[in-house]
Amino acid sequence: MTDASIIVGQGYNQIAAVYHNLRLSKKEINFRYFDDLFHYFPGAGKALDLGCGAGQPVTAYFAQKGFSIVGVDISPNMIEIAKKQVPSGEFFVSDMTECEFEDEEFDSIVSAFAIIHVPQEKQIDLFKNSLKQNVSLSKSPTQTETTQTNHFFAALCGYIKLEMLKVQTRTNHFALKTKLYVNALQSAFKTLEKMNPIQFSAKG
């Protein structure tokens, strides 16, 4: 497990209960959004939720739709909550870049809120082996010309900004992204402390 993964796991362990309550408060809104996207997925089968958190809203949504659901998260505290939220699910504590499953085991693989924690060059490996080959990826909204053009433009802008920061700070891309992420996580943690009367310990 990398240093960045350890930071992510410790951070989510600290805020598991608060994070769950925030996600739960937006459950119905998220469910309506998922309903708009559900036609891109097979109607049933076995689904894997990578970075499932506390089971709400994604894992619970797919379980409600009749899927046999498997959830993976790096935070033990999140997984404990997820087991209570989705009793029918099967859950594992793991860095999602390191967990292994059978080839073509799943009909659907989702990672709604956690994929941002995985370096882009590693993301495709999370899906390519375990997803069944007969799944129609051509229906995915990412296959449209507009979506791919927007994604390319955003990625290009991000790369240019990183290059400018690299020159200014004499720091490589990975170190810059790690520093940005850690600062964002610390800022979010401070905001959560202000929103909730519970005082969190900085220790893991």
pLDDT digits over 141-199, tens only? 444 444 444 444 455 556 566 667 777 777 776 777 777 777 777 777 777 677 655 55
**Contact criterion met (CB below 8 Å) for 12 and 75:** yes
Q: What is the pLDDT of residue 90?
A: 95
> Could you give the 3-state DSSP secondary structure of residue 95?
coil
Q: How far apart are CA 21 and CA 92, in angstroms?
A: 21
Query: Strand 108-110 and strand 46-50: pairing?
Result: parallel
In this predicted structure, the answer to whether residue 76 has a pLDDT above a threshold of 90 is yes
Query: Strand 68-73 and strand 108-110: pairing?
Result: unpaired
Q: What is the pLDDT of residue 67?
A: 93
Letter string b/e over residues 131-153, b meaning 16 or more CB atoms within 10 A of that residue's CB:
beeebeeeeeeeeeeeeeeeeee
Q: What is the pTM of this model?
A: 0.62
Other C-beta atoms closer than 10 Å to the C-beta of 182 total 15
- Residue among 54, 67, 59, 61 at smallest CA distance from 17: 54
β partners of residue 109: 48
**Contact criterion met (CB below 8 Å) for 46 and 107:** yes
Helical residues (DSSP H) of the chain, grouped into ranges? 3-14, 16-25, 27-37, 58-64, 76-85, 120-123, 145-169, 173-195
Give the CATH number of domain 3-195; options: 3.40.50.1820, 3.65.10.10, 3.40.50.150, 3.40.50.1370.
3.40.50.150
β partners of residue 70: 48, 90
Residues 6+ apart with CB under 8 A from 201: 14
**Which tokens is 167 given?**
């020159």
Arithmetic mean of pLDDT, 87-101? 90
**Contact criterion met (CB below 8 Å) for 123 and 117:** no
Q: How far apart are CA 129 and CA 112, in angstroms?
A: 19
More confident site: 113 or 60: 60
